[in-house]
Amino acid sequence: MTRWIIGPVAALAVGCAQGAPLDGDTSGTLGTTAATAMPTLTEPTTTSGTTTETGGTTTTSTSDSETLSSETDDTATTTTGEPTVLGEYYPFDEVHSPITADVAASLAAIKAKGTKMDGVFAKVGGSSTASTNYMHCLADAMQIMELPAELQPTVDFFNATAAGMGATSFSRVSLAAMAGWGGAEVLAGMPSPLANEVTEISPRFALVLLGTAELEVPPPEGVFTFADNLTAVVDALIAGGTIPILSTMPTRTMPAGIDVYVPRYNAFVRALAQGRKIPLIDLNLVLAGLPGLGLAADGIDLSVALGGDMVTPTPCAFGFAGITSGYNRRNLVTLEALARVKPVVVDGAAPPDASAPTLLGAGTLAEPIVIPGLPFADMRSTADSPSDEIDAYAGACMSMGEDGPEFVYELTIPEATKIRALVFDQGTVDVDLHLMTLTDAGTCVKRADRELEGPLQPGTYYIVVDTLGTATPGEFGLVVLPEV
C-alpha cells in the first residue's frame, strides 16, 4: 500500500504566530494581517492534509493595540539539512492503522514476552463486546453469509483452536467482557477478570474496546480515568505476550449531548495504539457512514441486520444490506484486522504496509514536532526528549518552575478555530501544557495542568508539554482536537 510522509520538508519552525487567550473571551484575541498556507481543518475522523509553510513577516495585534512582529524563518532543519523524521504516525482517515516493518518488530517483541496460543484471541470490553452479536456467529458456518473470500482463511484459522470448553475464540463468552463494564471493572479484583481470561485461554491476541461506560463519568475526570485504565489493560496484556488490537468507540447519541466527548476518548485510544505500536481499528470512522451512525434505536448499542423474518439477528450477513448495520460492520472490520496481523505475527510474513505517514521534527524550540492537521494524537516520553531549554514561562503563564525536559509542537491553523488540547500522564510523571505564539517562553498565552480549550485566530502556535518542577520525566499522551 502506498503511503506518504506528513509534514513540510522545510519551515519546521516558523517565527511569529497569532494567539488568543483560551478562555472564550474574544476581546483578548490576537488578530493577524497575514495568512499561512496549511491543511484544511477537518472534523475528527477525516483526512489529515499535508503542510506547507512560507517565509515572511506576520504581525499580531492585541485588543489594546500592542503589536507583536516577527520575521519568520524559511527553514529549520537538522544539521544535515533534512528535517528530523520522528516516527510513524497513525492517520485519522484510515480504518486500519499501518502495519509496517517497525510495527511488525514491536509485535514480535510482544510475542516474545510469553508463550501463548496463536489461534486464540480474547475479547475485552463492555456491552457491545459482550454481546452475542459480536463475533459469535463466525463460529457457525451456517450463519455466515457473503463473507469476502480473502477473510475465510482467518475464520478457519481461529475456529481450529479451542478457547476453553466447547468454544472457539469467536463463540467464547469472555470473562473480561460484560454489559456495563469499563476499564475499572476489567481490572478489578485479585485476580482480575482480565487476568482470569488470559489464564484460561492463553490468547495471542486481544480485541479491546473500552470507554462507552466511562463516557457517563462527569467530565473532565471521565476521560483521564479512562486513559489510566485503558493503559493498564494494554500494558498488562503486553507484559504477558498478548498483542492488544485496540478499537475506537462508536458515537453515542444518548443521553443527549454525550457525543461531544467521544472524540476525546478516541483520540487517546489512537495515541496509545501509536505509542505502543499495536494495531488500531477505527470503528468510529467505519460506523460514521452508516445509517443512524450504526447505532440501535437506544442510541447506545449497535444496530444489527435482521433475517427474512425481521426478528432474528443476522450479524454475520456481509452483503450490502447486512453491512449497513453496526454489529455486522464491526464483525467485518475486526476480521480484517485479524487477517492483517495474524500472518505477520504467526506466520512470519512480510508486513502488509511498506511505509506509513511520519511525524517530522525533533521536539525542540529550533525544530518543533509539526502537527500535520487536526485532530492530532501523539504519545512519547519527556525522559527521551532532546530539549530542556525552558525552565520558566512569562507572559500569561508565570507560575512555578517547569525545570524538567519538554517537547515542543508546532500547530498552524488556517481559520478561526476552537481547539481543545489534553495531556495525559500517570504516577509520578507530571507534565503541563503551555501555548505560545512564538518559540519564546515569554510569549506564553495559556498554561494548564491537563486541559486547554478555547478559540484561536488563524496562525501558527507552539504547544509545549513540559515537566513540572522536579517531577519525574516520563510518558505522556497529547491530544489536540478542533471543536465546534
DSSP string for residues in 363-405: SSSSSPEEP-SSSEEEEEEGGG-SB---S---GGG--S---S-
**DSSP code at position 41:** P
Question: Cell for 33?
Answer: 494581517
Q: How many CB atoms lie within 10 A of CB 471?
A: 18
pTM of the model: 0.85
pLDDT score recorded for residue 425 = 96
Contact 124, 194 (CB under 8 A): yes
User: Does pLDDT of 12 surpass 50?
Assistant: no
CB 457 within 8 A of CB 30: yes
Among the listed residues 261, 226, 291, 266, the one whose alpha carbon sits nearest the alpha carbon of residue 92: 266
Instruction: Report pLDDT digits (tens) over 436-447.
Output: 999 999 999 999
H or E element that contains 280: strand 280-281
| Bond into 352 cis (ω within 30) | no
Q: How far is CA 335 from the centre of its chain?
A: 21
C-alpha cell at 329: 460492520
Q: Average per-residue pLDDT in the chain?
A: 86
Strands lying side by side in the sheet with 31-32? 31-32, 56-61, 67-72
Cell numbers at residue 477, please?
A: 499522551
Arithmetic mean of pLDDT, 460-484: 93
Distance, CA of 103 to CA of 86 (rounded, Å): 14
**Residue 104: enclosing H or E segment and its boundaries?**
helix 101-111
- Arithmetic mean of pLDDT, 84-104: 96
Instruction: Give the model confidence (pLDDT) of 189-232 as tens digits.
Output: 999 999 999 999 999 999 999 999 999 898 889 999 999 999 99
Residue 150 pLDDT greater than 60, yes or no: yes
